[in-house]
Structure 1
Amino acid sequence: MSVEPTAKQADWPVPPVGGWIADDLDKLPNLPPHTELIDGSLVFVSPQTLFHERAVDFFKWQLQSLAPDDFEVVREFTIDVDRQNRPEPDVIVVPEHVIQDAEQTRFPAQTVLLAVEVVSAESLTRDRETKPVKYARAKIPHYWRVENVEGKTVVYTFELEPNTGEYRSTGIHRGRMTVDAPFPVDLDLTAITPKRRRSREQ
């Protein structure tokens, strides 16, 4: 006697020869939220930690308050690096003129002033190795990587070196982050991971 399945098996999209292209993210049905395209392959995001959520919110709103008036700060929005790469940085800073309408789904990577990635366990290699290379090739001037290191926020900042086309480190920030590029920023990083409240003794 056969047993009926208790749940319908997911119908995963089968990639075409040569892989998916950037336009496919807008056409494929039923993709999970925040699906990225990396080297022609679909990348699905795992459930995020509280640190990730707090850090993305923190940088989105802090940078929006500090960015020049003609720039916009956007969270979790895809950018076109090339035909087979459409990643979704956690936070980006773009000039207002690239925002066209409410139905827009992506920006050209070449218009991005700053890309910020908040590292999760499943995105560690992509955020440390894969994405910085692609962002540099797209000539994004600034890249920040945010990590939770033993319960404390650490931000690694990078700037594009025009002569080599690669990122060079401009600092490792703990506790407080003060930089003058791409615009002046002074942030209290301890606000992202506040100390746990001690329980009252009985």
Structure 2
Amino acid sequence: MTALPDWMSPPRPEGWFADDLDRLPEAPRHTELIDGALVFMMSPQRWWHGRLVAFLAVALAEQAPEGLHVGPEMTIRLDDRNRPEPDIVVTTASYNRDRTWFAPEEVLLAIEIVSPESAHRDRTVKLRKYAEAGIPHYWCIEDEGGDPVVHVYELDEPTKAYAPAGIFRHGLQRPVPFKVDIDLDRLVPGRGR
């Protein structure tokens, strides 16, 4: 068995903290911190997933009102021990090229596109953590025979839990976090109607 590289050893006995991610240049590109543990995206990304991230981000950016920004693959610093990386974020934060994370109060919508290796985290762990952090909207997108299916959640403020707000196939129309109208079939090749 090969020894682990030095950068994989936690810098202190109590493990990793959110700020440590900015000091790990050797870590794989998509590294998250969940409950103080590093989570690496080691599986090759499927073309379906990558295309969906790119095309959905563009569709949202084209419809976002002034003052909102859409970006892929930026972490959210939920607390000292959690910095997950959604596939897409809609944020109120001003653009800063050196920025590496958003605060939860700057995020209006977090979107995860479910992959086999991230399914449990996306469907349960992140669903709970984003809600507890006060992020108002969460979309979890599943692959249903090649078609994107969007499970939409809205935050119930008193309970700090998400309530299901709909499951969308073929088209997605929502009034929040801003007026959204997306032809889901056009996001994936061969699915346009």
* TM-score normalised by L of structure 1: 0.88
Aligned to 2:97: 102
1:44 paired to 2:40: yes
Q: What is the SS of the residue equivalent to 1:60?
A: helix
Q: What is the deviation of 1:17?
A: 2.0
Q: Out of 162, 168, 172, which is 1:173 matched to?
A: 168
User: How far apart, in 1, do the equivalents of 2:26 and 2:163 lie?
Assistant: 39
User: How far apart, in 1, do the equivalents of 2:25 and 2:55 lie?
Assistant: 32
The Cα offsets for residues 179-202 of structure 1, whole Å up to 9 and x where unpaired, read as: 111111111111123338xxxxxx
Measured on the aligned residues, the alpha-carbon RMSD in Å equals 1.7
User: How far apart, in 2, do the equivalents of 1:47 and 1:18 lie?
Assistant: 31
Which amino acid is the alignment partner of residue 19 of structure 2?
D
Report the identity percentage. Answer: 46
- 5+ residue gaps, structure 2: none
Q: What is the SS of the residue equivalent to 1:122?
A: coil
User: How far apart, in 2, do the equivalents of 1:29 and 1:177 lie?
Assistant: 38
Aligned to 1:17: 13
User: How far apart, in 2, do the equivalents of 1:24 and 1:163 lie?
Assistant: 32
The Cα offsets for residues 139-190 of structure 1, whole Å up to 9 and x where unpaired, read as: 0000001111112110000000012110000000001111111111111111
User: How far apart, in 2, do the equivalents of 1:87 and 1:159 lie?
Assistant: 19
Aligned to 1:185: 180
Query: What is the aligned residue count?
Result: 188
Q: Out of 125, 133, 144, which is 2:128 matched to?
A: 133
Aligned to 2:52: 55
The Cα offsets for residues 11-43 of structure 1, whole Å up to 9 and x where unpaired, read as: 161223222000100112411101000010000
Flag as ranges the 4+ runs of structure 1 deviating above 3 A: none
Aligned to 1:5: none
1:142 paired to 2:137: yes
Q: What is the SS of the residue equivalent to 2:90?
A: strand
Larger Rg: 1
Which range is displaced more, 187-196 or 148-157?
187-196
User: How far apart, in 1, do the equivalents of 2:99 and 2:171 lie?
Assistant: 35
User: How far apart, in 2, do the equivalents of 1:80 and 1:194 lie?
Assistant: 34
Q: What is the SS of the residue equivalent to 1:169?
A: strand
* TM-score normalised by L of structure 2: 0.92
Q: What is the SS of the residue equivalent to 1:84?
A: coil
1:85 paired to 2:82: yes
Q: What is the deviation of 1:96?
A: 3.8
